[in-house]
Amino acid sequence: MAEKVLMKGNEAIAYAAINCGADGYFGYPITPQSEVMETLMKEKPWESTGMVVLQAESETASINMVYGGAACGKKVMTSSSSPGISLMCEGLTYLAGAELPCLVVNVMRGGPGLGTIQPSQGDYFQATKGGGHGDYRLIVLAPASVQDMYDFVDEAFELAFKYRNPALILADGVIGQMMEKVEFRPKKARRTDEEVRQQCDSWATLGKPKTRERNVITSLALDPVVMENFNIKLQKKYADIEANEVRYSTYKTEDAEHLIVAFGCMSRICENVVDMARENGIKLGLLRPITLFPFPKKQIDALVPQLKSIMSVELNAGQMVEDVQLVAAGRVPVGFYGRQGGVVPNPDEIYEAFLKFIK
């Protein structure tokens, strides 16, 4: 069996990036995720794999460096926390509009504003509904363990390149800061220039050989008909992602009469809540969306007929609950429990809130 190493979620992101053959990381320090760049700088991957690591002057610059690198067909990434992601939203919509693959990691902290450095899931809307302008989507993966942090880096890059779309790992301060054992996966070498050309020459800016037309990376189309057609193409892509890339997990849902929906660190806490309910003879189950976009609509929908209630549990004022309500469509009561501002609830208080809700 592969060696297991004890580390923080943020450190796992850094090691996963090096080990999956990432070409570049561009970032700006912000708590609670600064360990990502610190670990990369300590490991000096430019000497081993040739990966570029650069501290940018701002998150605005980092995300635009990501754009520059991604447009060259490179596997490039950045990481930040909520206020930094707000600054990156301009870049994210340009990346989506130019159909560029890249990885962005958000280790969420409490907001709004400068907020707190304590954990939160308050950026669910920003991650899944936009943040930047225009009709675009990010592929959003929500890790619940340090192993997920490691594994999702490679998975997010694979999805990003498959669909030529930015992918986001939406973690929270708990997952970023806590230490767990991680199994390192087999290393992937960085692609050679030749391999990048084979994979990306039809669209990336690799230098124009005489044998092809010039490649232009842009999100600009002044003609409204052209722009609408491009938007339709994008929506088709997002529909494909919804059809093919939903990831989720369930806990004791087979016979469940009540369901909790929770992602990230909250899904782990809610497993305890399920066990507490079961000890008291209440058939509670848990569904954890692993991809927040695409959201596991069909999977929740399939459970609705057997359910008497659904409760969404989040570290915010109630954001994902709106997506759950859309699926439930009034067929079953949908409740919500959440704490805000960096407070993480314990299983007892969630269980109490659940009992109150189903009474």
Per CB under 8 A, residues contacting another protein are 23-24, 26, 52, 54, 56-58, 60-62, 64-69, 71-72, 74, 76, 90-91, 94, 98, 204-210, 214-220
- Give the closest residue to 159 by CA, choosing from 81, 244, 234, 86: 244
| ∠ CA 96-92-52, rounded to 5° | 105
| Cβ 94 to another protein shortest distance, Å | 5
Tokens of 38: 């610190």
Position 29: which residue type? P
| Cβ 157 to another protein shortest distance, Å | 15
| ∠ CA 194-199-204, rounded to 5° | 90
Q: Which residues of 165-198 are buried (b: 16+ CB within 10 A; e: fewer)?
A: bbbbbbbbbbbbbbebebeeeeeeebbeeeebbe
- Give the closest residue to 81 by CA, choosing from 6, 178, 148, 174: 174
Which of 72, 315 has the CB closer to another protein? 72
Which of 205, 250 has the CB closer to another protein? 205
- Give the closest residue to 37 by CA, choosing from 46, 28, 49, 50: 28
Which of 58, 244 has the CB closer to another protein? 58
| Cβ 99 to another protein shortest distance, Å | 13
Which of 67, 351 has the CB closer to another protein? 67
Contact indicator for 290, 278 with CB cutoff of 8 Å:
no
| Cβ 295 to another protein shortest distance, Å | 28
| Cβ 115 to another protein shortest distance, Å | 23
Which of 3, 213 has the CB closer to another protein? 213
| Cβ 54 to another protein shortest distance, Å | 7
Chain center to CA of 156 = 8
Q: How many CB atoms lie within 10 A of CB 298?
A: 13
Which of 64, 82 has the CB closer to another protein? 64
